[in-house]
Amino acid sequence: MTLSTLTHLECGKCGATYDAHQLMNLCPACGKPLLARYDLAKAAQTLTPAALKTRPANLWRYEEVLPVQRDDARLMLGEGWTPLVCAGTLGNEIGCPNTLIKDESLNPTGSFKARGLAMAVSRALELGAKEIAIPSAGNAAGAMSAYAAAAGLKAHVFMPADVPMMFRVECAQLGATVTLVDGLITDCGVKVREGAQQHGWFDVSTLKEPYRIEGKKTMGYELAEQLGWTLPDVIIYPTGGGTGLVGMWKAFDEMEQMGLIGSKRPRMVTVQSAGCAPMVRAFEEETEFAEPWQGAKTVADGLRVPAAVGDFLILQALRQSGGIAITVTDEEMIHYAKVMGRHTGIFPAPEGSATLAAQIHLLEKGWIQPDETVVLFNTGSGLKYAHLWA
């Protein structure tokens, strides 16, 4: 058995609680995302900075605050504990020397989607799922296919027909059944729901099951641990479904409750593409939820999410943190990918370079001060996007 202190699931909206030891998707009462809750007082007894020093260099090191109960249900391909790179040369170039890059491209399947899907698929395996399904415009599908293969579960992937070749090929090579759908990720989601009803597939869509966010929140734990149990002034995060942002925000609260950090929080920044920016619009209009974005179009496949189930959680985290939401153009993403590459040695996905473009805009506006510590999330590798760089 792991040291997991999972106690129950709680709806992020209506607060209804549920037994955690059953397969669940959205809250049956209100249709919003369920969040995992832990006995943090108990977790704090063993999850200490000293204990962590001897633990493996992957995300399972935070086992007290992860949901998986059985050691043998943990699917391990090397996910997590990615480097926090001091990007001093880049920082000097742009006038913000304390710029750091959390390089998530080193995860299995080349993106941080591995964190969420390692957790979701491990937990689905533990709770008896036989076949799993996902709608994805890119990296999530590859990560899901990898962990399904590791688990010996059948995987069904639904992708928009215009998805770049590498994303599709990766899933097929990893043994998933890939169906191309004429339309957007939301149309793919409809297909997954049909399959779930007809064939009993378990749907591992973003925030439609409670555990991808638990995998993604480990980015928050790692950031704090790698910074000696402090947090940066600003975190810039390319936001699609928002699991990473909401997950880190949850992690900071858990860490504070366990006495690992204090009450200081980073200002959280959401970056979206000008071609699909539902969160930026909702942030600016000060609404609780985000209206779906019509005609979503961007080369950053991870940001082509016209409607996010966790919209209210993203907006809450941005507002509580004193953060902001901004757009950058696809042209900027392509341009700044090369700037990041040239000055750091990291070859980012366009979602990753979007954070650099955003940082530059926010420095110009005076929203970020030159002496502040800024963490950019390079959420994926540029390698799968060969079509963009040539």
Ligand X SMILES: *Cc1c(COP(=O)(O)O)cnc(C)c1O
CB of 109 to ligand X, least distance (A): 10
Residue of the chain from 220, 266, 380, 382 that contacts ligand X (CB under 6 A): 380
166 C-beta neighbours (distance < 10 Å), count: 16
Measured CA to CA, the distance from residue 286 to residue 280 in angstroms comes to: 10
Q: Which is nearer to ligand X, 40 or 204 (CB)?
A: 204
285 C-beta neighbours (distance < 10 Å), count: 9
CB of 9 to ligand X, least distance (A): 20
Q: Which is nearer to ligand X, 47 or 113 (CB)?
A: 113
| Residue tagged 């919209």 (tokens) | 311
- 34 lies in the site for ligand X, by CB under 6 A: no
- 353 lies in the site for ligand X, by CB under 6 A: no
Give the CA count within 13 Å in the CB-facing half-sphere of 107: 37
- 113 lies in the site for ligand X, by CB under 6 A: yes
- 266 lies in the site for ligand X, by CB under 6 A: no
CB 248 within 8 A of CB 219: yes
Give the CA count within 13 Å in the CB-facing half-sphere of 71: 3
Closest C-alpha to 238, from 140, 136, 357: 357
Q: What is the DSSP secondary structure assignment for residue 154, as one 8-state letter?
A: E
Which residues between 151 and 210 bind ligand X (CB under 6 A)? 206
Number of residues that bind ligand X (CB under 6 A): 18
Measured CA to CA, the distance from residue 160 to residue 249 in angstroms comes to: 30
Contacting range for ligand X; rule: CB under 6 A; set: 40-48, 88-96, 137-145, 165-173: 137-145
Residue of the chain from 349, 360, 363, 375 that contacts ligand X (CB under 6 A): 349
Contacting range for ligand X; rule: CB under 6 A; set: 51-59, 121-129, 136-144, 326-334: 136-144
CB of 281 to ligand X, least distance (A): 16
Residue of the chain from 240, 278, 306, 323 that contacts ligand X (CB under 6 A): 240
- 139 lies in the site for ligand X, by CB under 6 A: yes
* Cα 340 off chain centre by: 21
CB of 154 to ligand X, least distance (A): 23
- 111 lies in the site for ligand X, by CB under 6 A: yes
Supply the angle between the helices 165-173 and 139-151 in degrees, to the nearest 10: 0
Element (H, E) at 191: helix 185-199
Site string for ligand X, 272-311 (x = CB under 6 A): ------------------------------x---------
Provide the total of helices (H) and of strands (E) in the chain, helices listed first: 15, 13
Sequence-distant (≥ 6) Cβ neighbours of residue 70 within 8 angstroms: 1, 2, 126
Q: Which is nearer to ligand X, 43 or 268 (CB)?
A: 268
Q: Which is nearer to ligand X, 91 or 382 (CB)?
A: 382
| Residue tagged 């293969």 (tokens) | 149
**Residue ranges binding ligand X (CB under 6 A):** 111, 113, 138-140, 206, 238-244, 302, 349, 351, 379-380
